[in-house]
Amino acid sequence: MKLRPRHLTGQTIALLIVALLSAQVISALIIRGETRSFYKGAESRFLTERIYPFAALLRSTSPELQGKVADTLNSKRVQIWISDTPSSITKPTYGHDEDENLERAHELAERITEELGDLDTSRVHVVIRKHFRDSHDDHENKAWRISHAFKNAPRRAKRANVYISIELSDHRWMNAAVHTRPPRQLIRPDGWITFFIAALVISLIVVIALRRITKPLQRLSEVAGRLGRSETVAPLTPEGPADIRDTIHAFNEMQHRLHKFVQDRTNMLAAIRHDLRTPITSLRLRAEMLKNKEARDQMIATLHVMQQMVEATLAFAREEASDEPTRPSDLNALLTAITDDLGGLGLDATCITNERIVYPCRPTSLRRAFSNLIQNAATYGKHARVSLTTAENNDNQIIIDDDGPGIPTAEHERVFEPFVHLEGSRSSKTGGVGLGMAIARDSILRHGGQIHLSNRDGGGLRVTVLLPAVIAET
pLDDT tens digits, one per residue of 281-324: 788 788 888 778 888 888 888 887 777 777 766 666 666 555 67
What confidence score (pLDDT) does residue 430 get?
A: 46
| H helix or E strand, kind and range, residue 100 | helix 98-116
Residue 168 has pLDDT above 80, yes or no: yes
Q: Which residues contact 342 (CB under 8 A, 6 or more apart)?
A: 349, 371, 374, 375, 378, 384
Which pLDDT band, with edges at 50, 70 and 90, does 36 fall under?
low
| H helix or E strand, kind and range, residue 56 | helix 8-59
Q: What is the mean predicted confidence (pLDDT) over 154-173? A: 81
What confidence score (pLDDT) does residue 176 get?
A: 87
Tell me 410's DSSP state.
G
CA distance 399 to 145: 87
What confidence score (pLDDT) does residue 56 get?
A: 84
CA dihedral 69, 70, 73, 76 (to 10 degrees): -150
**Among 375, 368, 367, 372, CA closest to 344:** 375
3 state SS of 165: strand
CA distance 314 to 13: 53
CA torsion through residues 384, 390, 391, 397, sign: positive
What confidence score (pLDDT) does residue 144 get?
A: 47
Residue 51 has pLDDT above 60, yes or no: yes
What confidence score (pLDDT) does residue 19 get?
A: 82
Which pLDDT band, with edges at 50, 70 and 90, does 235 fall under?
confident
Which pLDDT band, with edges at 50, 70 and 90, does 92 fall under?
very low
Q: What is the mean predicted confidence (pLDDT) over 140-150? A: 48
Helix spans in 229-322 (H): 242-288, 293-320
Q: Could you tell me if 389 and 354 are in contact, meaning their C-beta atoms sit under 8 angstroms apart?
A: yes
Residue 6 has pLDDT above 50, yes or no: yes
CA distance 263 to 322: 9
Residue 146 has pLDDT above 60, yes or no: no
Which pLDDT band, with edges at 50, 70 and 90, does 109 fall under?
confident
Q: Quote the mean pLDDT of the chain.
A: 76
Q: Could you tell me if 177 and 70 are in contact, meaning their C-beta atoms sit under 8 angstroms apart?
A: no
pLDDT above 70 covers a percentage of the chain that reads 76
What confidence score (pLDDT) does residue 374 get?
A: 92
Q: Is the model more confident about 30 or about 71?
A: 71
Q: What is the mean predicted confidence (pLDDT) over 242-265? A: 81
pLDDT tens per residue across span 392-428: 777 889 999 998 888 888 888 888 877 776 654 443 3
Q: What is the mean predicted confidence (pLDDT) over 431-457? A: 81
Give the distance from CA 174 to its chain's centroid: 67
Q: Could you tell me if 353 and 387 are in contact, meaning their C-beta atoms sit under 8 angstroms apart?
A: yes
How would DSSP label each residue in 118-163?
S--GGGEEEEE---GGG---HHHHHHHHHTS--TT--GGGGG-SEE
CA distance 230 to 455: 31
Return the number of other C-beta atoms located less than 10 Å from residue 113's C-beta. 19
Residue 45 has pLDDT above 90, yes or no: no
CA distance 87 to 399: 94
Amino acid (1-letter code) at residue 341: D
Q: What is the mean predicted confidence (pLDDT) over 104-126? A: 77
Q: Is the model more confident about 192 or about 185?
A: 192
CA distance 260 to 28: 62
Tell me 90's DSSP state.
S
CA distance 448 to 425: 30
In DSSP terms, 336 is beta-bridged to none
Residue 280 has pLDDT above 60, yes or no: yes
Which pLDDT band, with edges at 50, 70 and 90, does 463 fall under?
very high
Residue 464 has pLDDT above 90, yes or no: yes
CA distance 377 to 461: 8
CA distance 104 to 127: 9
Tell me 236's DSSP state.
P
Residue 364 has pLDDT above 70, yes or no: yes
Output the CA–CA distances (angstroms, integers) from residue 46 to 52, 151, 216, in the order listed: 10, 27, 63
Phi, psi of 217 (to 5 degrees): -65, -40
State pTM to two decimals: 0.48
Which pLDDT band, with edges at 50, 70 and 90, does 88 fall under?
low
